[in-house]
A = this chain, B = another copy of it.
Amino acid sequence: MSPEVRFDFEREARIGFTEAVFCKGKTSDQIALVLSQAQDTGKRLLLTRLDRDALDALDPVWRDAIDYEAASQTGIYGTWSPPSGPARVAIVTAGTSDLPVAREAARTQAFYGAPSREIADVGVAGLWRVLAHQEELRGFPVVIVVAGMDGALVSVLGGLVGGVLIAVPVSTGYGAARGGRTALDSALTSCAPGVVAVNIDNGYGGACAALRTLRAIDGAAQGAHGAVTEDEPSGVS
């Protein structure tokens, strides 16, 4: 194995996620090196933050082997087809600027075989838009909210749905938006109970969090979880 890139293919066995390749800042050679490792080991790969220029800079052999989606700047290498069937994860966006991040989340879900339902452009300045979807949204075990600026959609949804609610703040905006930090801080201080957040613009991370939940659900259905050692009682309950 190359000492320079030590791709963590064993990660899948441990936690169910292969390592994704964050392409921004990587050279074409480094990306190609990881792809060839994937080829050698017969693994699929998800490439994120792969902009058009970086894609075009790859050797055509690699480029043609990648299923590329422009809005999300993601590529999928290896045998893969889009998942079908009912979605268990809804991805909700506040405005048009949030779409690229939402799409990164949707593609990550799809890479792992989990379809998602996109509900776009329902920011709270036009409250009727999100209220029109509230019944539908209550049907999802997981809702990902992608929102920049004030991030108010997160708190509104947090009070409307009882499922897992994952906020993905977006770096949209200027001035007091502070590159997404205001949306992030808003999500973290939401008065709606149990809202969680991932890093700014991290659609990939939001999807992985959703996938952990789906796995918890499936594990429970299969009886895999819930075992607990008996010897040490918990602290306060």
Contacts and interface: CB of A to CB of B under 8 A. Distances in A.
Interface string A132-143: 000010011110
Contacts of A19: 125-126
A53 to B, nearest CB: 16
Contacts of A136: 228-229
A41 interface: no
Copies of this chain held together in the complex: 8
Interface string A82-109: 1100111001001111010011001101
Given A177-B189, A188-B176, A235 B106 contact: yes
A130 to B, nearest CB: 10
Contacts of A72: 236
Interface string A150-183: 1110111011111111100101111111111111
Nearest to A83: B237
Contact of A189 (B30, B91, B103, B175): B175
Chain A: interface residue count, which band?
Answer: 35 or more
A58 interface: no
A237 B190 CA distance: 30
A204 interface: yes
Given A124-B159, A175-B179, A195-B209, 12 more contacts: A6-B122, A14-B160, A69-B236, A87-B234, A115-B234, A123-B191, A124-B152, A141-B219, A152-B152, A164-B209, A169-B175, A194-B205
Interface of A: 3-8, 10-11, 14-17, 19-20, 22, 25-26, 30, 69, 71-72, 82-83, 86-88, 91, 94-97, 99, 102-103, 106-107, 109-110, 115-129, 136, 139-142, 149-152, 154-156, 158-166, 169, 171-202, 204-205, 207-213, 215-221, 225-229, 232, 234-237
